[in-house]
Amino acid sequence: MPTGKVKWFDPKKGYGFIIGDEGQDVFVHYTSIVGDGFRALKDGEVVNYELVRGEKGFQARNVGRTPPQPPPFVQPSA
């Protein structure tokens, strides 16, 4: 499943764009965001999604938030 970063999302309009792994703009509509309640994305947020080619270009489906990665483990020096 591809991942990308939210380029921008307008919660009032209910849509925005994700920058895909290969740098392509991917349209995202609020109905494609997985979750309950108010569905919106934050600019810069990392998400995973299914990529679909639509009539006007790439579209994201089943958009989910990627959990934050833990900091890298650093071996303490003895």
Residue 48's CATH number: 2.40.50.140
The region of weakest confidence among 4-8, 25-29, 44-48, 68-72 is 68-72
Examine residue 38 and state whether it is found in any structural domain, yes or no: yes
CA dist 45 → 5, 36, 40, 75 (Å): 6, 18, 11, 29
Count up the domains in the chain and report the number: 1
Examine residue 77 and state whether it is found in any structural domain, yes or no: no
Predicted pLDDT of residue 77 = 76
| Higher per-residue pLDDT: 27 or 73 | 27
Predicted pLDDT of residue 27 = 97
- What would the pLDDT profile of 11-63 be if each residue is shown by its tens digit? 999 999 999 988 999 999 999 999 887 889 999 999 999 999 988 899 999 99
Examine residue 75 and state whether it is found in any structural domain, yes or no: no
Examine residue 32 and state whether it is found in any structural domain, yes or no: yes
Examine residue 78 and state whether it is found in any structural domain, yes or no: no
Which residue segment(s) compose the domain that 8 sits in?
Answer: 3-65
Examine residue 70 and state whether it is found in any structural domain, yes or no: no
